[in-house]
Structure 1
């Protein structure tokens, strides 16, 4: 008996191997109430489930790490070194185009900014000075405007008067009156003949047209007034350094390369790169509705 109860069958109070526990359970499998009998030994089925779950989680984690590494390698592999300066931009004396500048600023792309030599490098590529700003030569400014465009949004076309007439006709009450006018004309002409039987129907039609043109005319005038007010609102002046001198100009005269000076409460007139300053906090709520602060690059 002592030989049978060797180390091969001994169940230790702690750290017994699964092999020993399984043999012990197999040997004592015929005992009465095995759950009570084995209550002080490890539950092998639960241990197997936990091991399987750990293995599954480890595999998921391994896959996630591999996917993350692959994505990181892909991102690092897509380098901005493939950028080619368009021919017309080179001929004008610049080394970076408007689309590339836009992708750097709007996308807050630090990698591209680094590739182009940070702010000083981009200043060299667009032919400006971070201290003196742009030269005031008219021909050079016109050439820059042709390459990079002007600093204004594309305005939506104003609605014409006929559009407001059509919108006024969409009123449900006027539609019902129009149906009534049509029925009145048919019934009146059929019973009393033309033109006596058409009086009521034509009267309704005249009333509908009067309401439509008065409403459309009022909306059209309000639209014109709103456009005028909007244009006045957009007449914003800004402090800019050109040719070493600080001057005041309209935001519509700004060009890439201008050095703009901002004060507390100023509206940022264009996308740009940050040169110097302190405690600068900007949000894009007036354009995007988002009040989250930006530290444009």
Structure 2
């Protein structure tokens, strides 16, 4: 059963409140919990789904927004290699200025600055392109979850459409889509390797 939608929460007070709510729900008797979430073991009905969908628009995990292009461009030039090249260019420029006017040659400085521009430009182009491709892949991947709804029984829906009070049916290999309370289980094992690194299921 779903307790609440996944959200990026700012502030320790909000995190503490959610933690207390989850602890409270985990200790409740099943019938009290179902009543509190205004649901039944046969799931939500169409009216409940419509009302809750207006109240809770999306069950999506907030992803980090890509940095603006100008920050990516700036970051492409802020690295040790560029710093060393600029230091060499500065030293070369200063030593050239100290020479007599007829012996001055700024070609080395120009070559180094061109190398810096090419290096930073290539790095920016690669990172910008890979960031865009990652965003496109993320938008293409749709994770689904099996829920029990009163009218349709078991149905597969997009994880973003999951609502508080939904009865979720999990089977082997399924990803837990939200904060849940187990109502019925048979041979339940959970792999926490992504969270704790522990390879054995518990």
Q: Same fold (TM over 0.5)?
A: yes
C-alpha separation in 1, matches of 2:86 and 2:67: 25
**Which residue of the other structure, out of 38, 41, 50, is the alignment partner of 1:130?**
41
Q: Please give the alpha-carbon distance, in whole angstroms, between the structure 2 residues aligned to 1:128 and 1:193.
A: 87
1:244-283 equivalences in 2 (<5 Å): 244-245=151-152, 246-283=154-191
Which residue pairs with 1:119 in the alignment? 30
Correspondence 1:243 to 2:121 = no
Alignment RMSD, CA only? 3.0
> Could you tell me which of 51, 71, 76 is aligned with 1:140?
51
CA apart distance, 1:159 = 2.5
The CA distance in 1 between the partners of 2:175 and 2:25, in whole Å, is 26
Q: Which residue of structure 1 aligns with residue 20 of structure 2?
A: 103
Give the deviation of 1:121 after TM superposition: 0.8
In the alignment, the residues of structure 2 paired with residue 274 and residue 201 of structure 1 have an alpha-carbon distance, to the nearest angstrom, of: 68
Deviation of the 1:250 alpha carbon? 0.5
The within-5 A match list for 1:1-297 is 102-103=19-20, 105=22, 109=23, 113-114=26-27, 116=28, 118-131=29-42, 133-137=43-47, 139-145=50-56, 150-191=58-99, 193=101, 197-233=105-141, 235-245=142-152, 246-291=154-199, 293=201
1:243 is displaced (CA, Å) by: 2.9
CA 1:112–1:140 in 2, change beyond 3 Å: closer, same or farther? closer
Q: Which has the higher contact order (CA 8 A, sep 6+)?
A: 2
Give the distance between the partners of 1:99 and 1:255, measured in 2 at CA: 22
Gaps of 5+ in 1: 1-97
CA shift for structure 1 position 160: 3.0
Please say if residues 96 and 106 of structure 2, whose CA atoms lie closer than 8 Å, have aligned partners that are also in contact.
Answer: yes
- Provide the rounded CA distance (Å) in 2 between the counterparts of 1:253 and 1:287: 24
What is the SS of the residue equivalent to 1:238? strand
C-alpha change, 1:232 and 1:285, in structure 2 (3 Å) is farther
TM-score where L is the length of structure 1: 0.53
Asked which structure has the greater CA Rg, the reply is 1
Alpha carbons of 1:193 and 1:199: their partners in 2 closer, same or farther (altered >3 Å)? farther
> C-alpha displacement at 1:173, in angstroms?
3.1
